[in-house]
């Protein structure tokens, strides 16, 4: 929840209701929320789209970590193009995170070629 963008009375009422349901309340500024979601949702969707586009698939020899990659790609197959684009373009922090990921992947690949 973002306490700095809500009226104090409405915020307190909603927070009390959520807590009464037994749910946890995490308080963040809108900027903190968006930065964390850029990683948690945006980067995850991006990685999943890359895996799906690669055509990652089951192989005879599989490890638990590879199974997680397969599951991630499969999950992305259920997202619409509109949802993917909205998440990728709707968060101001995500372009820098995607660029950092791609640049680091390139650097790691370059280092392995030495």
Could you report the per-residue pLDDT of 34-72, keeping only the tens digit for each? 999 999 999 999 999 999 999 998 889 999 999 999 999
Tell me whether residue 43 is in a domain: yes
Identify whether the C-beta of residue 43 lies closer than 8 Å to the C-beta of residue 49: no
Tell me whether residue 67 is in a domain: yes
Tell me whether residue 33 is in a domain: yes
Tell me whether residue 107 is in a domain: yes
Q: What are phi and psi of 16, to 5 degrees?
A: -60, -45
Mean pLDDT of the chain: 93
Please state, as a whole number, how many other Cβ atoms lie within 10 Å of the Cβ of residue 16.
Answer: 11
Residue 77 tokens read as: 């197959």
Tell me whether residue 24 is in a domain: no
Tell me whether residue 12 is in a domain: no
Number of domains in the chain: 1
Tell me whether residue 22 is in a domain: no
Tell me whether residue 54 is in a domain: yes
Structural domain range at position 35: 29-112
Return the pLDDT at 101.
Answer: 97
Model confidence at 4: pLDDT above 90? no
């Amino acid at each position: 929840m973002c306490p700095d963008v809500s009226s104090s009375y409405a915020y307190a009422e909603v927070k009390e209701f959520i807590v009464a349901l037994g749910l946890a309340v995490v308080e963040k500024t809108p900027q903190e929320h968006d930065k964390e979601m850029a990683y948690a949702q945006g980067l995850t969707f991006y990685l999943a789209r890359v895996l799906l586009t690669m055509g990652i698939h089951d192989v005879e020899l599989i490890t638990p970590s590879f199974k997680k990659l397969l599951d991630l790609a499969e999950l992305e197959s259920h997202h619409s193009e509109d949802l993917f684009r909205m998440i990728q373009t709707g968060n101001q922090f995500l372009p820098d995170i995607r660029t950092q990921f791609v640049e680091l992947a390139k650097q790691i690949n370059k280092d392995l070629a030495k």
